[in-house]
Structure 1
Amino acid sequence: MRILFLGDVVGRAGRDAVVARLPGLRRDVMADLVVVNAENASHGFGLSPEMARAFLDAGADVLTLGNHAWDRKEIIPFIEGEPRLIRPLNFPPGTPGRGATVVELRNGKRALVLNVMGRLFMDALDDPFRGAQAELARHVMGPQGTVQAILVDIHAEASSEKLAFAHSFDGRVSAILGTHTHVPTADHQVLAEGTAYMTDAGMCGDYDSVIGMQKGPAALRFWRKVPGERLAPAEGEATLCGALIETEDATGLAKRIQPVRLGGRLSQLLPIS
């Protein structure tokens, strides 16, 4: 199976780039499963139902969220009725939506997608390790299993927490991709037991910015340390950032992981067949 994952979509620049380029990118890399983190799509904060529909129509199979999941209140009734949109599973019981979903792919295979949020330097949520453990206990990965691939989006600030999570579940899932810090890391690898990993997949947005936000007002906050104007996304040409993972049919584990960088300011990096 070939899995395409795109990191945090930030603002109009990222949103327009994903909607315009995802259909062709999905075709070019022959992706069976496409997962997009969309929690910053609406002006950098949250996701609207209309934007969610646009990503799904463009070819995303699953959308994940994070700490800005509820910044657009109209997403609450939408997420209750749309199983392809998930939020971190370690939100407390009773939170709208779901933290995992199983999708039937175009090739007839099934994939489980989980979304968890870290707790270091983030909101104090339930334990993402134990939450993921409980969800994974419901599934067997493999040709005759309940699913043929499992992908986890860990939305977290600390690289140490992401790495600890990845090593804890190495060999039990196909891939663990980090989101939230908006900067693509160079540590993409297949871990010792066969799980593909990358600390942060990067963002889909304008990199002439401070993690996707207009650089002037964002930098001024560090100079003055007083509340200023609301941050707004940068609006230059976006770079699509993410990763492509290829799994073994016999096990569901990863054979390789390759970064994706397309358009905008960053050096271009497209997966090879």
Structure 2
Amino acid sequence: MIRVLFVGDVFGQPGRRLLSAHLPDLRRTVDFAVVNMENAAGGFGLHRDAAEAALRAGVDCMTLGNHAWHHKDVYSLMLDEISYPIVRPINYADPGTPGVGWRTFEVKNERLTIVNVLGRVFMEAVSNPFRAMDELLERKDLGNVFVDIHAEATSEKQALAWHLDGRVAAVIGTHTHVPTADTRILPRGTAYQTDAGFTGPHDSVIGSDQEGPIQRFLTERPHRFGVAEGRAELNGVIVQMEGGRAHSVERYRYIEES
């Protein structure tokens, strides 16, 4: 039995700060830590400093999302597969896309495969995530499969989880930055939550300083969205799994004091 911690989208400097401060203690209670880092660099993408700070804090694998390519750093990081265990979305059609969409690790005599996949509803054009997962699962040596589905639409996340129920250990959503209360194990043994939430500024509009989004909605014109300051929150999901199935799943949330 292995306990896998998944931490939702790290957003900007407040998210990186809280991850570095809080993860080491939390890491002692789990066997493996996966963190979505696709908003770690100023709210968009991943750069070297953020990746190295996450690894020092105890992160075992980093996933990404639709902002994967925002910083040039990420290309060189993906080429160094040993030093930087990064998994970018699997469903890019171009075979020359840098990096990998899944990685397999050995954890307490169990195989654990981390997969990152992008949704398509209200998102950019990518290959079919359902077909991409079907193709990957034709492999026989993946062990416990953990899927980070980075998508906007709740329906698409739920549909993918039901499609994969019994074939993967967990399907946990990211991207919307708000933790959902639908944590459960589906009938055939797949842990599910629509969105893990994010790790970033608590008093914000999904990470941004409130004024930018407010003015955008009020004026219907573009406004700069800056990373909010102040206390931060960390959201995640802990899944206990063995033999390719989930045995328990629980939400985790920590909010800094004012």
2:122 aligned with 1:98, yes or no?
no
- 1:243 corresponds to: 237
Counterpart of 1:42, as a letter, is A
Which secondary structure state, in structure 1, belongs to the residue aligned with residue 39 of structure 2?
Answer: coil
- 1:214 corresponds to: 209
Pairwise CA distance, 1:185: 0.1
Alignment TM-score, normalising by the size of structure 1: 0.90
Could you say which structure has the higher strand fraction?
A: 2
Shift >2 Å, 4+ stretches? 107-110
CA distance, structure 2, for counterparts of residue 135 and residue 119 of structure 1: 18
Residue 37 of structure 2 contacts residue 62 of structure 2 at CA under 8 Å; is this kept in 1?
yes
- 2:72 corresponds to: 73
Residue 206 of structure 1 contacts residue 264 of structure 1 at CA under 8 Å; is this kept in 2?
no
- 1:270 corresponds to: none
Structure 2 unmatched runs, 5+:
none
CA distance, structure 1, for counterparts of residue 55 and residue 130 of structure 2: 29
Alignment TM-score, normalising by the size of structure 2: 0.95
Residue 109 of structure 1 contacts residue 147 of structure 1 at CA under 8 Å; is this kept in 2?
no
CA distance, structure 1, for counterparts of residue 186 and residue 32 of structure 2: 21
Deviations 1:127-170 (A, max 9, x none): 1111111111113xxxxxx3442100000000000000000000
- 2:20 corresponds to: 19
Residue 170 of structure 2 is aligned with which of 164, 171, 175? 175
Structure 1 unmatched runs, 5+:
140-145, 266-273
- 2:47 corresponds to: 48
- 2:180 corresponds to: 185
Deviations 1:218-273 (A, max 9, x none): 211111121222x11112111110111112x3x331111100001237xxxxxxxx
Residue 198 of structure 2 is aligned with which of 188, 194, 203? 203
- 1:88 corresponds to: 89
Counterpart of 2:236, as a letter, is G
CA distance, structure 1, for counterparts of residue 15 and residue 21 of structure 2: 10
The alignment covers a number of residue pairs equal to 254
Cα-Cα RMSD: 1.5
Pairwise CA distance, 1:80: 2.0
CA distance, structure 2, for counterparts of residue 47 and residue 14 of structure 1: 12
